[in-house]
Amino acid sequence: MSETTVLALIIVFEVLLVGGMLLIQPFVVRRGLVFGVYVGEAAAEGDEARAIRRGWLATMVATLAAAGGLGGLMLALKLGPPPLAALVPAIVLVLGSYGAYIRAHLRARPLAAPGAPTTAAATLSTADPSLTLPLTSLAVALAGGLAAVAYAWVSYPDLPPQVPTHFGPSGRPDAWSPRSFSSVMLLPLTTLLLGTAMAVMACLMTRAKRAIRHPDGGISLAAQQRFRQVSANYLALVVIVMTAMLALMSIFAIRTGLGLAAGMPPALMALVAVLLVVAVGGGLYIALRYGQGGARLERPAASAPLTNGLADNSRWVLGIFYVNRDDPSIFVEKRFGIGYTINFGNPKAIALVVAFLAIVAYIVVAGVTI
Amino acid sequence: MVAPLVVVLDRDAGEAAYEQIASQIREAVATGALVPGSPLPGVRTLATDLGVNFNTVARAYRVLEEQGFVIIRDRSGAEVATPAARASRQARAMLERELWEVMARMRQAGFSERDLRKAAESCLDRLKE
């Protein structure tokens, strides 16, 4: 496959799959929420809310067309270095979707339900989602990560002065760097730290705040429980496949350096494909089958009001950031989009995010400097 | 599907949040909605779901434990206690005193002797053995 074909495929993937994921967002949110504003269950189905959704949809379709068109044009006219043709659509998508969201959010604000909700409801049910798969993913992340780190550590003295640090599509090395802690340990440490951090998040997700409707006869609770379970299991599966992939890459990078292998094994490409299918397919499946927070499962009770933090506009900044010092929650479900955000009013949640960002920053900085 | 029990806090009620939690759990136990041995969510879980401080829920559970409604099981949660087989002399004296005060207040509020009997019978009917 030529580089142009690969780039064209990446652009199509970005526009169709990522764009598709973005487009379904307002249609899988929990009823009562319009672009991060709680307007009440009836108003969310009213004419004004529909008009805001239509306006957003038009902006998003234009954004997708601009992203695809610009990428295709850059590729056809060979403008700039080739990878830029795939990067520009991604940037257009990110900026365009945030812009469209903020505009829709500001339009939805005047519809906001007045005042903070005076009641908070919580279930006395003790049925928590199972931790089996999230804990398994934690064990896999630790075992795979430690094995990769240990192998790199033990092999370090035997490595040549120049070690392979980049591999081409064929799996053969195409870039080398001087042997150093970063150039040898970056991938094993990434395997260990990223996998462990994500597995811990999967475990915490099973215990995320349950934002129920009341009174609804328990329908929203059942929907929330199933959503929590499937979200945590999804992340756990991603961690397991990602750890297998990164551990294999770490070990074969070292083996190539030692002259024991010619490059990455063919099985690696299969793992990359599995990871893509699990990550993208799983995300789409959860959005369409469950909806955000189980929104699609709770439809029989969707006219009962939302409770607690999710219904409290005074606790949300731009409908994106939840800030509530009185709430001990770490993870809370997003008002817009699929999955969870953190409670920025909780120091523990902030510490968790800072730790995660530190890991990502280390990977990026070390990756750029080797 | 049996609807799960729900605790509702009303911030405008004027009653402390811990007392609202305790009173609703007491009500569920008294009416048999929660039977002895039923597990209750841990302090952390209930505080997270309600969006209130841990201490608020912990205080509600402590009050319920003192009153013999729940048994607290370390961090993992609590369960509904079995009612005592016989009232102790101390409990009898204290609770009879409280009942006496409530009846005195009812009488002062205009309840006739017939109203008082009716109210007491209605309470007894709601209490599940």
Whether B6 maps to a domain, the answer reads: no
B54 and B103, same domain (yes or no): no
Kind of pairing between the strands at A331-333 and A340-342: antiparallel
Chain A: nearest CA to B63, how far in angstroms?
A: 17
The answer, yes or no, to whether residue B124 has pLDDT greater than 70, is yes
Tell me, what's the pLDDT at A101? 98
Residue numbers of the domain that contains B42: 17-80
Q: For the segment A121-155, what is each residue's pLDDT rounded down to a tens digit?
A: 999 988 889 999 999 999 999 999 999 999 999 99
User: Residue A321: helix, strand or coil by DSSP?
Assistant: strand
Q: For the segment A30-50, what is each residue's pLDDT rounded down to a tens digit?
A: 999 999 999 999 999 999 999
Average pLDDT over residues B87-103: 95
Tell me, what's the pLDDT at A10? 86
B28 and B72, same domain (yes or no): yes
Distance in angstroms (rounded) separating the CA atoms of residues B47 and B125: 33
Helix, strand, coil shares of chain A, percent, nearest 5, are: 65, 10, 25
* Token reading at A76: 């056809």
The answer, yes or no, to whether residue A78 has pLDDT greater than 90, is no
Q: Which residue has the tokens 């959010």?
A: A105
Cβ proximity of A257 and A164 under 8 Å = yes
Q: Which of B26, B29, B58 is nearest to B43 (CA)?
A: B58
The answer, yes or no, to whether residue B76 has pLDDT greater than 70, is no
Whether B7 maps to a domain, the answer reads: no
B62 and B111, same domain (yes or no): no
Q: For the segment B23-33, what is each residue's pLDDT rounded down to a tens digit?
A: 999 999 999 99
Q: Please indicate whether, in this complex, the C-beta atoms of A329 and B8 are within 8 angstroms of each other.
A: no
The answer, yes or no, to whether residue B129 has pLDDT greater than 70, is no
Whether B34 maps to a domain, the answer reads: yes
Q: How does the average pLDDT of chain A come out, rounded?
A: 93
The answer, yes or no, to whether residue A5 has pLDDT greater than 60, is yes
Q: Which residue has the tokens 């209750």?
A: B40
Cβ proximity of A299 and A318 under 8 Å = no
Q: Please indicate whether, in this complex, the C-beta atoms of A207 and B48 are within 8 angstroms of each other.
A: yes
Whether B66 maps to a domain, the answer reads: yes
The answer, yes or no, to whether residue A18 has pLDDT greater than 70, is yes
Q: Please indicate whether, in this complex, the C-beta atoms of B8 and A120 are within 8 angstroms of each other.
A: yes
Give the list of residues 6+ apart from residue A139 with CB closer than 8 angstroms, or none: none
Tell me, what's the pLDDT at A37? 97
CATH of the domain at B43: 1.10.10.10
B22 and B51, same domain (yes or no): yes
The answer, yes or no, to whether residue A1 has pLDDT greater than 80, is no
Distance in angstroms (rounded) separating the CA atoms of residues A323 and A293: 19
Q: For the segment A268-297, what is each residue's pLDDT rounded down to a tens digit?
A: 989 999 999 999 999 999 999 999 999 999
Cβ atoms within 10 Å, residue A313 = 18
CB pairs under 8 A between A and B: 89
B74 and B96, same domain (yes or no): no
Q: Which residues of A touch B60 (CB under 8 A)?
A: none
Average pLDDT over residues A299-319: 94
Band of the pLDDT at A368, cuts 50, 70, 90?
A: confident
B66 and B21, same domain (yes or no): yes
Whether B54 maps to a domain, the answer reads: yes
B101 and B69, same domain (yes or no): no
Q: Which residues of B touch A316 (CB under 8 A)?
A: none
B34 and B67, same domain (yes or no): yes
B21 and B43, same domain (yes or no): yes
Tell me whether A125 touches chain B (CB under 8 Å): yes
Whether B11 maps to a domain, the answer reads: no
B28 and B67, same domain (yes or no): yes
Q: Please indicate whether, in this complex, the C-beta atoms of B5 and A214 are within 8 angstroms of each other.
A: no
Q: Which residues of B touch A221 (CB under 8 A)?
A: 4
The answer, yes or no, to whether residue A113 has pLDDT greater than 90, is no
Average pLDDT over residues B66-70: 95
Average pLDDT over residues B105-129: 92
What is the percentage of chain B residues whose pLDDT exceeds 90? 87
Tell me, what's the pLDDT at A308? 86
Tell me, what's the pLDDT at A369? 76
The answer, yes or no, to whether residue B62 has pLDDT greater than 90, is yes
Give φ, ψ of A165 to 5 degrees.
Answer: -125, -5
Facing residue for B5 by CB, picked from A120, A124, A326: A124
Band of the pLDDT at A4, cuts 50, 70, 90?
A: confident
Q: How does the average pLDDT of chain B come out, rounded?
A: 92
Distance in angstroms (rounded) separating the CA atoms of residues B78 and B66: 13
Global ipTM = 0.87
Whether B98 maps to a domain, the answer reads: yes
Q: Please indicate whether, in this complex, the C-beta atoms of A119 and B10 are within 8 angstroms of each other.
A: yes
In total, how many domains does chain B have? 2
Tell me, what's the pLDDT at B74? 74
B74 and B28, same domain (yes or no): yes
B74 and B22, same domain (yes or no): yes
